[in-house]
Structure 1
Amino acid sequence: MKIAYPFLQLLSTAIFLFTSLAGLAQNTGSIRGKITSSDGKTAEYVSVQLKERKQSTLTNAKGEYKLNGVKPGNYTIKVSAIGLTGEEKNVTVTAGAIVIADFVLNESASQLDAVTIQGRQNRYKIDKPSNSLRLNAPLQEIPQNIQVVSQGALADQQIISMSDGLVRNVSGAARVEHWGDLYTNITMRGSQIQAFRNGFNVVNSYWGPLTEDMSFVDHIEFVKGPAGFMLANGDPSGLYNVVTKKPTGVNKGEATLTLGSFDLYRATADLDGILSKNGKLLYRLNIAGQNKNSFRANEYNNRYSIAPVISYQIDPNTKVTAEYTLQHAKMSNVGSFYIFSPNGYASYNRNLTMLAPGLEPTKINDHSLFVNLEHNISDKWKLNAQASYFNYQQKGSSMWPDSVATNGLVRRSASIWDAFSEMTLGQVFLNGTAKTGEIQHRILAGLDVGTKNYYADWNQTAALDTIGGEFNALSPVNTVDNGFPLFDRSLSVEERAVRGGGLMDQRYTGLYAQDELGFLDNKLRLTLAGRYTYVSQSNYGGAPQTAKHFTPRVGLSVSVDDQTSVYGLYDQAFVPQNAILTSGEAAKPITGNNTEFGVKKDWFGGKWNTTLSAYKITKNHEVTTDAFNQGRSIEIGQKVAQGIEFDVRGEILKGLNLTANYAYTDAKVTKVNEGVGESIAVEGQRTPGSSKHTVNSWLNYKVLSGPIKGSGLSGGFTYLVDRATTTFSKTNPEQNLPDYFKLDAGAFWEKNNLRLTFNAFNILDRYLYNGGYYPANYYFTSEVYYWQAEAPRNYRLSVAYKF
C-alpha cells in the first residue's frame, strides 16, 4: 500500500496548524457548556451565538457546545433555534481561561425534536448528517465534501422523484438519461455514483434501483469522492443516500395536490403522530398517487406509493423503528424515450416518438422493509443495528432498433424485460467518544453483510416492423406491421434467467474501524480508518469471482475558527469486476488512490455555508467490452478524474434562500494498455459521465412583512459546458453534445397552513436533450446518433395544506 506520501503531507500540515493554533490559544479564552431540555434530556444541534461577535456554533449529540478563540471581554450568549424561546446569558472571558455557561430550555425533548426536524436552522441548509451515514459529527468537522438536499429545496422546486431535476442542487452531478424515469443513474466526478437508502447500498444491477418517489423522502445526502468505509466495494466517485421520513413525536399532517402539463395529476398525504398515551409509540404514514403523461404521444408513467413507519421507545436508552415501502409503477415501454438518426442530434421534431400505442406496459412492484435498533450504552457510546429486505418485481419489455439505415428508416423491435431482484442486508455499528490525556477520540466500528440476487429475462425479441415497412421519422406512422409480440412466460423469471444468462449475484462482508483523534481542544482532528472487504459475485450466469482487500483512510480537519474548517482526505479505491479478459483470465478489481482537499465555512452565524473542494481520483485495471472478441473484456489501463467544486446553500439574507454550485471536471484516460485499439480508448480521451463545466442555481425569496407577506418568487438555471455525458470525440465535434442551458422560475404564496407553489420549467422552450453516438459497424451498420429529448416549456401548480 503506497500511502506514505499522502500521509506525510497530511501529517506535516497537521503539525504546522497545531503549532500555530497553540500560539493563538494563549491569547484568547473559550466558552463551554451544556444545553438540556426542560425534562433533563440533551438538546442536540441548537444554535449558540456570541451576539457581539456574530460567532456561533451548534451543540453536539450530547448537548455540548464550545466557542474557542474568544478575545477577552464581556459577551452575551444567545441560545436559539427556529420555534424555540431564545435564552441569553452574560459572561466575561479572560485570556487562557475557560468559561462554563450551561442552559436549560423551556421546551421538552419531544418539542425540541420536532423543532429540530422542522427548522433545521433554515430551509435549505442542514448541519448534521443522518444517523445512517454513521458519522457522529457536524458536517463542518467531517473531512469530506458532503452536500445535503433538504426537504425545503425539494418542495420549492416541485421535485417529485429522484430523476426529476434533483441534480441541480449538487455541484458536478449529472443524470444520464436511460430508461426514462425507471432508474436514476447519477454520475459525479467522472463515474456513476452508488445509490443508497438509509445507509444501505441498494444497487443490484447495472440499471437500478427504481427511482424513489419524493413523498416518503426526507432529504438526500451526496457523499462526494472517497467514501471507502461507507461504500465497501462501490465506485470511489461517491454515493447518494436517500433518507426516508421518520416519526417526529408531534401530531401533524400535510396534504398536497399537484397539477401540471401533459396531464400530471398527483396527490400526497403525510401523517405524523403519537399512537400511545405515554408517547412511546409513534407513527408516520406517507401515501402518494399520480397519473402522468408525456409531451410525446403514447407515453405515460402512473404510480402510487405507501410508506408506513412505526417507532417504539422501549426504554429511555433503546428505540426500535420499522418501516415498509411499496412503490407500484405502470409505465409505457421503457425504451421509447430514445430517438435514432444517422443525420445528427436533434435532427427530428422534439415531440417525435417511435412508440406504437398498444405495446404492453412495464409494471413494477418494489417492496422494501427496514428495521432499526438504536441503543445508548452510556452517554458516550451508542449502538446501531439495522436490517433490510428488498423485493423488486418487473414485468414488461423495452424497445430498441434492429437496424437504422443511412436514409433514416428504422426497423423497431421489442425485447422482453422481466426481472426479479432480492436483497437482504445487515449492519451493526458502534459510535463512541473517549479521552486519552488531552486527546479526544470519536470512534466508529462496524460490520456490513449483504446478499443480492438479480434475475432477468431479456432474451426474447420480436421485430415490430417488416423489412420494407420500416418506421420513417420524417413521416411517422405508429402502426405495427408484425403485430405486438406475445412473449413466452410459461416458466418463472428465475428459470428463464438461467437459460438466457440473465443472472447476477453478490455476497459481501465488510469490517471497518475509524478513530478521529481531536487535538488542541478538538480544533485539529486526525482521522485514521481502515476497512476489510470480502466480495463474491457473478454476472450473466458466469462462475463466481471473489476478491478481498484492505483499504486505508486518512483524514485531517482543522477548525481555523468556529465557522471555518479546512480538510484533507486520502482513501483507496476497491471495486471488484466480474468479467473474463480476452486472455481468458479473470478481471482484477479496480484499485486506485483518492485525495481531496477543501475549505468549509459558515457565514453570519451559520445561516448559510460554502464548500470549496479539489480532488483527484485514479483508477487502475478498469475493463470494457472487447469489440473484436464477443463475450470477452479488455483492460483499458488507467483513468484519472480531477476537478474543483464549489457549493453555496442557506439563507443569504432574511427571507432569501439560495442553492448555487459550480464544478470543473476533467475525467480522462491517462494510460492505454498494449493491444487496446483506438476504437476502444486512446490516451487523453475523456470518459463519459460529466460536463467540463457545470453551473447551477436556485434562488427563493419570501416577503416577510407588508400587504403581500408570505408571497415570493423562485428561479434558477442549469448550464452545462463541454459535455461528455455519454460519448466524446477529440477529432469530430459533431459527435459531441452541444452546451446545455435550462431556465426555470416560479412564484408562491403561503398564509397560516396553506401554501400555493407554481413553477414554469424550460422557460426559454429550448430543444434540450442528452444522448450519444455509435460509429458505423459498432452497433448498427451505419453511424447513428441517439438522444432523449426533454420536455418543452411546462408548468406545475401545487396546493399544500398543513394540519
Structure 2
Amino acid sequence: MKEPNRWQFLKSVVLISGLLQTSALVANPNSEVYQFDIAAGSMTGALSEFSEVSKVDINYPANTVSEVKSRGLKGSYTTEQALQQLLKGSDLSYRITGDNIVTIERSQLAEGKDPTMMPPVQVIGQAVFDATNTGDADYGQPKIGTATKTDTPIFETPISVQVIPKAVLQDQKTTRLKDALENVSGVRAQTTLGLGNGFIVRGFRTGRVFRNGLSASGLSIGAATEFDTANLESVEVLKGPAAILFGRIDPGGLINLVTKKPRDESFYSLEQRFGSYEFYRTEWDATGAVAEDRSVSYRFTGSYQDNNSFRDFNLNDRMLIHPSLTWKPSDATSITVDVEGLYQEHRSDRGLFAIGDRPAPVPTSRSYIEPNDPLDKTSKVNLGFDLSHSFNDQWKLRNRFLATFNDSEDISIKPANAFTVASFLDPTTTNRIYQRNIFAQTVDAETYTSNLDLEGSFEFLGARHKTLSGLDFTRSTGTYWTRGNFIRPISGLGIDIYNPVYGIDPAYFESALATPFPAGINYSYFRDEWYGLYMQDQITLGDSVHILGGGRYDWAKTGRGRGASITSAEAVLPTTRDEGFSPRFGLLYQPWNWLGIYGNWTTSFGANNGVTDSGKSIDPEIGEQFEAGFKTEIFDRRLTATAAYYHLVKQNILTRDQNSADPNAVAPIGEARSQGIEIDISGRITSGLNIIGSYAYTDARITKDNRGLQGHDMNNVPEHSGSLWVKYDVNDNNVLNGWSFGLGLVAAGQRLGDDENTFVLPGYARLDAFTAYSYKLGNKRLIAQFNIRNLLDKAYYESTDPFQNAPPRVGIYPGAPLTAIGSIRLEF
C-alpha cells in the first residue's frame, strides 16, 4: 500500500506551504482605501466619479465606454478593487503594467491597441484586500471556460451551462460536491458505498469529474474518488455531450471543478464549524504576493473535518491541503503550479435495502455493518501545472497538465449473494435474517492528462472569429485486488433486520480475507490511453449572431487483464482500439441585448473499458443531442436565466451482466433516450437579494435492450425535480445591517430504483435555512453563521448504488435528518 508514503509527502507539503505563507506575510503590501458612493448609470459618469474620489485620471478611447452601463459602487475599496467592481459584468477590462500603470479597454478586442487611446497614467498606491468588501458575494456567473475553453460570456454561448459560485458554497456550508450540485437542474447524485462522486446528468450517469479542465477521476473502479469543497472557486456544469473539447465523457454532461488560484493581493481567512453528529471542521485560505513586484504569488487552502453520521457506526476523518504558486515573468506569461492532497478514513456505508417495491420499513439511521468493522482509507494527490502565454492581443497559447494518484482500501460487511441479486434474507426465518459476508477491495490508480490549446482572434469578411485548436492526451493505469467470498453467506454473520444485535468475532475478518475471490482472477490490471485533436471556431456577425462550430477526432486504447497476481493480470492484458469523430454546431441569436435564442447539435464518442462475460469487447458508446432554448440577462445583467429543451440518445450503455456469477462481467443495455425541459436561474436581483434555482422535467427511458427492458424508466431519474435558494443581505436598515437570511428548497418526485423497475424511491421535499451576522473590525470581517439542513426533519432517500459495489436493491442510501451547523469565520 502507498498511503503511508503519500501521507508523509502531504505532511511535507504542509511544511513547505507554511514557509511560503510566512514569506508572503513579510511581503504584505498596504494601500489607501477610499469610500465610494457611485449610482448606477452610464460607465462614463461612473468612471468620472471614481476619478474624483481616488484622484486617479482614467483614460480610454472615446467610443470604448459610450454605450456601456455601470451597476454603480458603494463601500470602501482600494483603487484596483473599485475598478474590478465598476467593470464587473461588462466587456471592459483594465491592465496594470510596469510601475502601477492602468489602462481600460474592451476585453474582447479583435485587433491590437486602438490608435485613439490616450496615454496611460500612474495609479498611486498598491491594491490590498479589504475584507469588508462583499462585492464578490453575489450569485452572478457572467463567464465560464468549460463550454468553449475561452472567456466567452455564458450569455453568448449556444449551450446550456451553469455555474455554482463560491458564494453559494459558502452560504450553504457545502463540504461535498454532491450537495453543491443540488443547485443545478437535471443533476442527481448517485454515490456508491455512501461516498464518491458519481452523478446522473440529464438521465445518464457519469463517474468522471474534471478539475480545471482536465480529468481528475481516473478509472472508475472500486470506490470513487472523493472531493472536498474547501479549495473550490466554483463548480461548472456543461450540459449535453462535451466530447469535442474533453474527449471521453458521458453524453449527459461534464462537471468541472475550478480551484482557487493565487492572487497578488493579500487575503486570509480562518473558519471553524461545529454541528450535529459531532461534526467539527476547520477551513483556511491564505493568499498574497511573495515578491515586491507582485510577479510571484501564492495560495494555501485546506480543511480538516472529523464527524460521525446519522447512520450507525459511520464516521469520517478527512484532511485536504492545497498549496499553489503563480509566477508572472511578464504581462504576457503566467505559470501556476499546485499540489492537492486529500486523505480520508471512514467506514463504507452499505445502505439499506428494498422489500417488495419500497425501501424496507426500518429507521434510516440503521446500519447493518459492525462497530468493529476496520476503518477504510482513501488518499488522493493531484499535481497540476498551467502555463499561458499571449503572443499579442490576438493569439494565446495554453498548456495544462495534471497527474492524479488515487489509492483506496475498504473492508466491509455486505449482504450475501449481492452481486447475483439472489435473496439476501433467509426465507426460513420469515425473511427477518439479513445474511452477510465480508469483502475487501484495494485500488491503486494513476492518471496523467495534458492538453495544448492555441486560441486566436481575428476579423474576416466582416465577421469576428475566435478560434481554438488543440490536442490532448490521457493515460490511466490501475490495479484492483479483491478478497473474501462475496457470494456465499458466512455462517454466524446473519443479523435480524428488525432487532439487530451487533458484535462479531474478529476472527471472521481474518478467515474471510484470507480467501482470494474469484479464485485465480482476483487481481485486475487496467490501462486506458486516449489521444484527441480538436478545432473550434466562434463567429460573431454584428452584435447579435453567435455561431459555434467544431469537431474532434479521437484514438483510444482500453483493456483489462485478470489473474492470480498483478504481474499475471498485466501479462494477459487485452487491448481494444477505437477511434471516432465528434462534431458540434450551435447558433445563438440576440433580438435584444437581454435575450438570446439558441440551438445546438452535438455528438460524443466514448470507449468502453469492459468486456462481456465471454471475454468479448464492447463497441464504443455513442451519444447524440439536439437542444434548443433561450437565455436572458435582466436587472442590469445581474441575473442570468436559461431555459432549454433537449433530446439525447446514448447507445451501447454498459451495465452489470446479471446473468453472470462474475461481478465484473458487463453487458450493453443497447440504447437509452432522455429528453426534457430544464430551467436554471442565478444572480442578484437587488443589492441585498440573491437567488439560485432550478427545475427539470426529465423523461429518461431504455429504448433498446437485450434483456427485455425496453420502455423501462432509467434508474434514479425523477420526472420532476428542482431547487430554490434565496439569500437576503440586510444593508438598508440601521438596526439589522450586517444580518443575512436564507431559505432553500430541494425537491424530487418518485424514482425507479433500478433499470428493472422493481422498486420505487418515494418523492421528497427538503427545506433548508440559514442566518448569519457579519461584523466589521476595521478592514477585517467576522461572520457568525447558523445553518439548518432538512429543517422539517423529513425521512427521504437520495439514490441507489449504480451496481458498482452492490445491486440497487441492496444499496439504498437515505438522506440525512435535521442537521445543524454553526460556524465562525474571520477574514482579514
Q: TM-score, normalised by structure 1?
A: 0.82
- Shifted more, 258-267 versus 501-510: the winner is 501-510
Alignment pair present for 1:716 and 2:749: no
User: 2: distance between equivalents of 1:721 and 1:66?
Assistant: 55
Q: CA deviation at 1:203?
A: 2.8
Amino acid at match of 1:442: K
Letter in 1 for 2:240: G
Give the secondary structure class of the aligned counterpart of 1:663: strand
1:211 and 1:109 mapped to 2: Cα distance?
46
Partner of 2:102: none
Q: Does 1:743 align with 2:757?
A: no
Who is 1:404 aligned against?
A: 425
DSSP 3-state at the match of 2:177: coil
Q: Which amino acid aligns with 2:763?
A: D
1:596 lines up with 2:627 in the alignment: yes
Are residue 477 (structure 1) and residue 501 (structure 2) matched?
yes
Letter aligned with residue 716 of structure 1: G
Identity over aligned pairs, percent: 22
The one-character-per-residue Cα deviations of 1:705-743 (angstroms, maximum 9, x if unpaired) are: 3111011211111110132354463xx6xx111111111
Q: Call closer, same or farther: CA 1:131–1:765 in 2, change over 3 Å.
A: closer
State the shift of 1:132 in Å.
9.5
What is residue 683 of structure 2 aligned with on the other side? 650
Give the corresponding residue for 2:82.
84
CA deviations on 1:437-468 (whole Å, 9 max, x unpaired) are: 20111101111101101211123347998536
- Following the alignment from structure 1 to structure 2, what is the Cα–Cα distance between the partners of residues 738 and 462? 30
1:110/1:249 contact within 8 Å kept: no
The superposition leaves residues 644-675 of structure 1 with CA deviations (integer Å, 9 ceiling, x where unpaired) of 10011111233011111100011112234xxx
Partner residue, 2:650: 619
| Pairing partner for 2:823 from 794, 798, 802 | 798
Pick closer, same or farther for the CA change 1:104–1:267 going to 2, 3 Å.
farther
- Show CA shifts across 1:296-334 (max 9, x none): 3321100111110000012221111000011010112x1
Change (3 A) 1:411 1:432: same
* Structure-2 residue corresponding to 1:201: 215
What is the match of residue 729 of structure 2?
Answer: 702
The alpha-carbon distance between structure 1 residues 499 and 772, as it changes in their structure 2 partners (threshold 3 A), is closer
Task: Give the aligned residue type for 1:539.
Answer: R
Name the aligned partner's letter for residue 500 of structure 1: N
Task: Give the structure 2 partner of residue 248 of structure 1.
Answer: 263
2:675 is the alignment partner of 1:677 = no
Match of 2:576 among 523, 527, 545: 545
How far off its partner does 1:545 sit? 0.6
* SS class of match (1:292): strand
Distance 1:109 1:345 in 2: 67
CA distance, structure 2, for counterparts of residue 514 and residue 114 of structure 1: 38
- Cα shift readout 1:486-520 (whole Å, capped 9, x = no counterpart): 389999x9x9999524322200001000111221x
> Is the 1:262–1:294 contact (alpha carbons within 8 Å) kept by the matching residues of 2?
yes
> CA offset at residue 153 of structure 1?
0.1
Of 792, 811, 814, 1:789 maps to 814
What code does the residue aligned with 2:579 have? K
Matching residue of 1:527: 548
Q: Is the 8 A contact 1:176 1:726 kept in 2?
A: no
Whether 1:355 and 2:369 are equivalent positions in the alignment is: yes
Matches within 5 A, 1:213-252: 213-252=228-267
Structure 1 residue aligned with 2:28: none
Who is 2:636 aligned against?
605
Answer with 763-772 or 149-158: which moved more.
763-772
Corresponding residue for residue 507 of structure 1: 529
For 1:142 and 1:76, locate their aligned partners in 2 and report how far apart those are by CA, in whole Å.
21
Aligned to 1:659: 692
Aligned pair count? 715
- Name the counterpart of 2:714: 687
Uncovered stretches (5+) of structure 2, i.e. residues with no partner? 1-38, 47-58, 75-80, 88-113, 417-423, 563-572
Superposed CA deviations along residues 581-618 of structure 1, whole A, max 9, x for unmatched, are: 57875321122421111211110111111101111111
Distance across 2 between alignment mates of 1:514 and 1:153 = 32
Q: In structure 2, what is the equivalent of residue 391 of structure 1? A: 405
CA contact (8 A) 1:736 1:772 kept: no
What is the match of residue 140 of structure 1?
Answer: 155
Shift of 1:353: 1.4
Instruction: Write the mapping of 1:120-519 to structure 2, written as runs, cut at 5 A.
Output: 123-130=138-145, 134-163=149-178, 165-181=179-195, 183-193=196-206, 194-206=208-220, 209-332=224-347, 334-339=348-353, 341=355, 344-402=358-416, 403-406=424-427, 407-461=431-485, 467=491, 470-481=494-505, 483-486=507-510, 499-519=521-541
The range that moved more, 638-647 or 389-398, is: 389-398
Q: Secondary structure of the residue that 2:382 maps to in structure 1?
A: strand
- The answer to whether the 8 A contact 1:263-1:293 is kept is yes
Are the equivalent residues in 2 in contact too, given 1:572–1:592 (CA < 8 A)? yes
1:691 alignment partner, SS class:
coil
Q: Are residues 439 and 120 of structure 1, via their aligned partners in 2, closer, same or farther at CA, if it must alter by over 3 Å?
A: farther
Q: CA, structure 1 residues 540+600, in 2 after alignment: closer, same or farther (shift >3 Å)?
A: farther
Change (3 A) 1:169 1:343: closer
Alpha-carbon offset, residue 206 of structure 1? 2.7
**AA of the residue aligned to 2:549:** L
Alpha carbons 1:617, 1:640 under 8 Å: kept: yes
Q: Is the 8 A contact 2:548 2:587 kept in 1?
A: yes
1:81–1:364 Cα change, 3 Å = farther
Deviation at 1:65, TM superposition (A): 11
Taking a change above 3 Å as real, the CA distance of residues 586 and 53 of structure 1, as seen in their structure-2 partners, is: farther
Taking a change above 3 Å as real, the CA distance of residues 413 and 143 of structure 1, as seen in their structure-2 partners, is same
Report the secondary structure of 1:84's partner residue. helix
Contact 2:641 2:682 in 1 (8 A): yes
- Cα gap change, 1:774/1:665 in structure 2, threshold over 3 Å: closer, same or farther? closer
- The 3 A distance-change label for structure 1 pair 601 and 50 is farther
Amino acid at match of 2:707: G
Which blocks of at least 5 consecutive residues in structure 1 are unaligned?
1-46, 55-62, 89-98
State the TM-score, normalizing by the size of structure 2. 0.79
Q: Is the 8 Å Cα contact of residues 712 and 755 (structure 2) preserved in structure 1?
A: no
Q: 3-state DSSP class of the match of 2:167?
A: helix
Deviates more, 1:360-369 or 1:556-565: 556-565
- Compared with structure 1, are the counterparts of its residues 419 and 636 closer, same or farther at alpha carbon in structure 2 (3 Å cutoff)? closer
* C-alpha spacing 1:100/1:384, structure 2 compared with 1 (3 Å): closer
